[in-house]
Structure 1
Amino acid sequence: MKADVAKFVREKLGHQPKDLRLFELALTHASVGTDNYERLEFLGDRVLGHAIAQALYDRYPKEPEGYLSRRYNVLVARETCAEIGRELGIPSLVRLGKQARDDGANQSENVVGDVVEALIGALVIDGGTDAAVQFVGRIWGSHLAEQRKAPKHPKSALQELAAERECKPPVYEVVGRTGAHHHPKFTVRVSVPGLGEATAEGTSKQEAETEAAEALLKQLQ
């Protein structure tokens, strides 16, 4: 395990670890015990936000705050973090308790996204803030480049569409929940009277609501 983690940190994070234990901790889920990634995730989340905000500020000098916020919200979203985590190969390295492992928690967007943030936190402590910010700039670079225009969150887009068509605002309702506490799956239905409804799943209520809004938008296009 230590050799695999050391190789991962060097090759995927581009960092020579001084304290490998930090990175092992960043890959350890709470189902293993009290020594887990949660504190590192707290730190990494804040550094990720700072790094992305700075990158957007520099990259789009003429854009107003509202457009920058749209870009920011997508780039720091759990879905984006999880996508990056899978690109890095994190699911195969996450340490889980038996039940969480049996439940497939290493594939959960919440878990993979949290680990990415925890690894950023580990980089801050082991290599300094600059090392963490450089990592974010390198790994998030393609996602920044793909944003040719400021994206609009599906829930915001659906609400604006409802207003344009003089309908009541969208209503979101959790219609199902399955899975273990650490690896839940929510089913959410969104409805707009006069426009239609759609149902979608996600590993959090927010994710399921976003997916449902996007599904309804596709119906209405």
Structure 2
Amino acid sequence: MTDALQPLEDRLGHKFKTRGHLVRALTHASAVAEDHLTPSESYQRLEFLGDRVLALVIADMLIDAFPNAEEGELARRLTGLVRNESCAEVAVEIGLGNWIRLGGGEVQSGGRRKAAILGDVCEAVIGALFVDGGLPVAQRFIEDNWRKRMLNWTGPLRDAKTTLQEWVQGRGLSTPKYEIVERSGPDHAPHFVVEVRVEGMMSVTGTGRSKREAEQKAASAVLLAEGVWRQETHAD
């Protein structure tokens, strides 16, 4: 596989000193199980690292690009730019799906086109770039692929929970109540399902890799359903 990775390295703008980092970033858990590899040979740990590197670099870019923005606006822009969907879009643009190592079942189910997998692998590749070449290498890749998104981002500048709370208070309703209804997955990659209940409305659930993300998704769903937010300007 390593010989076939040169075209991908060209797209990433970095020739890996240790190609094993890139191979691991491309290896899905289904391939680990099928090829009898160890769990550490999947992309999960690099995904964890890449997620943090992406947030750091984007935060620095935002500080520079929006010198008059308050913390809340910067946080909202950051959330919109580092979400899994944005990472998946970048993965599609660079053709990352062609190089993902998947198990046979995942290949048959269209794993190379699944946004969740594409987004995770994109974060893992950022982690691999950081490990192999340091922050400047990862930073260059992120700036090349996120700067235009940052400047053109049109999502709401207030987070979903705050917007929902202000909206229900304006209608004289009680404060929304959030409750975790499910938590699954390993400790290093948990999955949360959170339910939000708003007075006089049906309860709605949201999912995420943290309690906060799931709460925001649930609040977003209410705002979209009630027409407070529009889908085309909504960013989780």
The TM-score with structure 1 as length reference comes to 0.78
Could you tell me which of 170, 173, 176 is aligned with 1:170? 176
Equivalents in 1 of 2:105, 2:153: separation in Å?
A: 39
Corresponding residue number in structure 2 for 1:123: 129
Instruction: Tell me the matched-pair count.
Output: 213
Corresponding residue number in structure 2 for 1:15: 14
The one-letter amino acid paired with 1:29 is: H
- Give 1:148 deviation, angstroms: 5.4
Whether contact under 8 Å (1:169, 1:192) holds in the other structure is yes
- Give 1:92 deviation, angstroms: 2.9
- Give 1:121 deviation, angstroms: 1.4
Corresponding residue number in structure 2 for 1:2: 2
Kindly provide the CA deviation profile for residues 93-139 of structure 1, in whole angstroms up to 9, marking residues without a partner as x: 22123344445444444332221111111111222210111111111
Range moving further from structure 2, 55-64 or 17-26: 17-26
Corresponding residue number in structure 2 for 1:113: 119
Equivalents in 2 of 1:89, 1:170: separation in Å?
A: 41
Corresponding residue number in structure 2 for 1:78: 84
Kindly provide the CA deviation profile for residues 3-29 of structure 1, in whole angstroms up to 9, marking residues without a partner as x: 442211212x12222222211110001
Corresponding residue number in structure 1 for 2:75: 69
Matches within 5 A, 1:1-221: 1-11=1-11, 13-31=12-30, 32=32, 33-34=37-38, 35-147=41-153, 151-171=157-177, 190-194=196-200, 196-197=201-202, 210=216, 212-221=218-227
SS at match of 1:17: coil
The one-letter amino acid paired with 2:19 is: L
Equivalents in 2 of 1:133, 1:149: separation in Å?
A: 23
The one-letter amino acid paired with 1:16 is: K
Over 3 Å counting, the alpha-carbon distance change for 1:146 and 1:173 in structure 2 is: same
Over 3 Å counting, the alpha-carbon distance change for 1:81 and 1:174 in structure 2 is: same
Range moving further from structure 2, 110-119 or 22-31: 110-119
Equivalents in 2 of 1:203, 1:142: separation in Å?
A: 26
Equivalents in 2 of 1:203, 1:106: separation in Å?
A: 21
The one-letter amino acid paired with 1:60 is: F
Percent identity, please. 39
- Give 1:200 deviation, angstroms: 7.0
Gaps of 5+ in 1: 177-184
Kindly provide the CA deviation profile for residues 116-175 of structure 1, in whole angstroms up to 9, marking residues without a partner as x: 111111111222210111111111112101135763333432232112212123346789
- Give 1:40 deviation, angstroms: 1.7
Over 3 Å counting, the alpha-carbon distance change for 1:110 and 1:161 in structure 2 is: same
Over 3 Å counting, the alpha-carbon distance change for 1:174 and 1:150 in structure 2 is: closer
Whether contact under 8 Å (2:208, 2:217) holds in the other structure is no
Over 3 Å counting, the alpha-carbon distance change for 1:50 and 1:174 in structure 2 is: closer
Whether contact under 8 Å (2:207, 2:218) holds in the other structure is no
SS at match of 2:68: coil
Whether contact under 8 Å (1:198, 1:213) holds in the other structure is no
Name the Cα RMSD after superposition: 3.3
Over 3 Å counting, the alpha-carbon distance change for 1:190 and 1:149 in structure 2 is: closer
Equivalents in 1 of 2:27, 2:114: separation in Å?
A: 14
